[in-house]
Amino acid sequence: MFLPVIMAGGSGTRLWPLSRQLNPKQFLPLVDSDVTMLQATLKRLDGLEHAVPKLICNESHRFLAAEQLRQLGLEEANIILEPVGRNTAPAIALAALQALAQQSDPIMLVLAADHLILDVDAFHQSIAKALVLAEAGKLVTFAITPKHAETGYGYLQRGAAIGDGGFKVSRFVEKPDLKTAEKYLSEGDYFWNSGMFMFRASRYIQELEQFQPSIVSVCREALAKGQQDMHFTRVESTIFATSPDDSIDYAVMEKTLDAVMVPLDAGWSDIGSWSALWEASERDAQDNLFKGDVLSENTSGSYVHATHRLVATLGVEDLVIIETKDAVLVAHKDQVQDVKKIVDQLKGCNRHEYANHREVYRPWGMYDSIDSGERYQVKRITVKPGEKLSVQMHHHRAEHWIVVSGTARVTNGEKTYLVTENQSTFIPIGQIHALENPGMIPLELIEVQSGSYLGEDDIVRFEDIYGRVKG
Q: Report whether 135 contacts 145 (CB < 8 A).
A: no
Q: Is the pLDDT of residue 265 over 90?
A: yes
Kindly tell me the burial class for residue 260, based on how many C-beta atoms sit within 10 Å of its own C-beta (0-12, 13-18, 19 or more). Answer: buried
Report CA dihedral (298, 303, 308, 311) to the nearest 10 degrees. Answer: -20
Residue type, 101: A
355 vs 318, more confident: 318
The pLDDT of 24-44, averaged and rounded, is 94
Q: Name the CATH superfamily housing domain 3-269.
A: Spore Coat Polysaccharide Biosynthesis Protein SpsA; Chain A (3.90.550.10)
Confidence category of residue 415, pLDDT binned at 50, 70, 90: very high
Q: Report whether 93 contacts 222 (CB < 8 A).
A: no
Q: Is the pLDDT of residue 249 over 50?
A: yes
At residue 183, φ and ψ (nearest 5 deg) are -65, -45
Q: Is the pLDDT of residue 82 over 90?
A: yes
pLDDT at position 229 is 83
Three-class secondary structure of residue 173 per DSSP = strand
The pLDDT of 54-65, averaged and rounded, is 93
Question: Where are the domains positioned within the chain?
Answer: 3-269, 274-344, 359-463
Q: Report whether 190 contacts 157 (CB < 8 A).
A: yes
Q: What is the pLDDT of residues 417-433, one digit of tens each?
A: 999 999 999 999 999 99
Q: What is d(CA 347, CA 339) in angstroms, rounded to the nearest whole number?
A: 13
At residue 278, φ and ψ (nearest 5 deg) are -60, -45
Q: Where are the beta strands (DSSP E) in 406-439?
A: 408-412, 415-419, 424-427, 433-436
Q: Report whether 128 contacts 120 (CB < 8 A).
A: no
Strand-pair partners of 260: 140, 168
Confidence category of residue 439, pLDDT binned at 50, 70, 90: very high
Strand-pair partners of 359: 368
pLDDT at position 333 is 95
Q: What is d(CA 288, CA 309) in angstroms, rounded to the nearest whole number?
A: 19
Q: Residue 60 carries which DSSP code?
A: G
Kindly tell me the burial class for residue 88, based on how many C-beta atoms sit within 10 Å of its own C-beta (0-12, 13-18, 19 or more). Answer: buried
Q: What is the pLDDT of residues 322-359, one digit of tens each?
A: 999 999 999 999 999 899 999 999 999 999 899 988 88
Torsion region of 279: left, alpha or beta (phi above 0 gives left; psi -120 to 50 gives alpha): alpha
Confidence category of residue 437, pLDDT binned at 50, 70, 90: very high
Confidence category of residue 469, pLDDT binned at 50, 70, 90: low
Q: Report whether 264 contacts 115 (CB < 8 A).
A: no
pLDDT cut 70: percent of the chain above it: 99
Confidence category of residue 455, pLDDT binned at 50, 70, 90: confident
pLDDT at position 163 is 83
Confidence category of residue 104, pLDDT binned at 50, 70, 90: confident
Supply the CATH classification number for the domain 359-463.
2.60.120.10
Task: Choose the most confident range, by mean pLDDT, from 148-162, 345-359, 395-409, 452-466.
Answer: 395-409
Q: What is d(CA 102, CA 426) in angstroms, rounded to the nearest whole number?
A: 50
Q: What is the pLDDT of residues 148-162, one digit of tens each?
A: 888 889 999 999 999
The pLDDT of 84-108, averaged and rounded, is 95
Q: 3-8 and 107-112 as β-strands: parallel, antiparallel, unpaired? A: parallel
Q: What is the pLDDT of residues 250-261, one digit of tens each?
A: 999 999 999 999
Q: Is the pLDDT of residue 470 over 70?
A: no
Q: Is the pLDDT of residue 471 over 80?
A: no
